[in-house]
Chains A and B, each alone.
Chain A
């Protein structure tokens, strides 16, 4: 089966967690989902519905218990840990609820981190990281440490980092969960712009309907299954 133009195509995607001395706990049940390049998808669902687990699997931060995952036409299931690392480095950008920036490391160096692992030389790393910070409006705070930045600024540093290797896919897990409404709007506008202007595919997990409205497609998870998949209705 050729996945064609689809950026992401998962079939019979399942995940269960092993509990020591107990039955495995199922989290995802045979999920089928396709995301085309350039889409802006919001994933919603109550706590425990498996949406974060699904994101981690999409991001190759975790491996599925069963099923197939085609990313840009490549089957991810058979890849080694190092090949997955290369995939995360070049194809995927992550934005987390808790930002996950390296403490004690400047905004510039945080943004440059993926470039380090991509084998980009020092001078070019710094130049590109500076350009990325400029794009997210933090060009003047390159030397600042994460704890010297506001939540919204930290999240913008994280977005700049996600963009560092020019990924095809940005995965954002509750990116506005720690931010106030106004800052949340700014962050979501930034995602919208990246999606519209550069054609980067964006998948955002959220439990807020207001946030989901920035997307064009809405997928709703309930009990580890896709319960709804359709256009976002304003």
Chain B
């Protein structure tokens, strides 16, 4: 395989990966930052970084966690760069109302809003566990936390959601 062929093959593989994972990356970034514009910017920048270091990816089976890590780092950079302030939650919810809307499913829309109002520390492990299918060990590695801390955050995340949705709440561990 000559250099041009290798380049074409690299581009083809990367495009295939991006096409498959782009929606999940976008959703992950959206739930991290609760801002659609930020999510789009973060994923775009993350994919540029990923393209530059695509050859360093040793196992293609780990491409999803590799990309999620890049998105998380890029989000942290963007957050720092733009010095985002914690906005009024009602304003945030209103700004993203059409993304949070669930046609004809009030319970789903209510859950989205409750998730939106969850603290960042609780929302991220929940996204990784429920949407991405990560184990608590993988979440701990991804977030640089002890596994026990992840378990506590996940417990509290669900307790907060139950509280927000008016369901009886368990005592905190």
The answer to whether A and B interact is no
- Residues of chain A at the chain B interface (Cβ within 8 Å): none
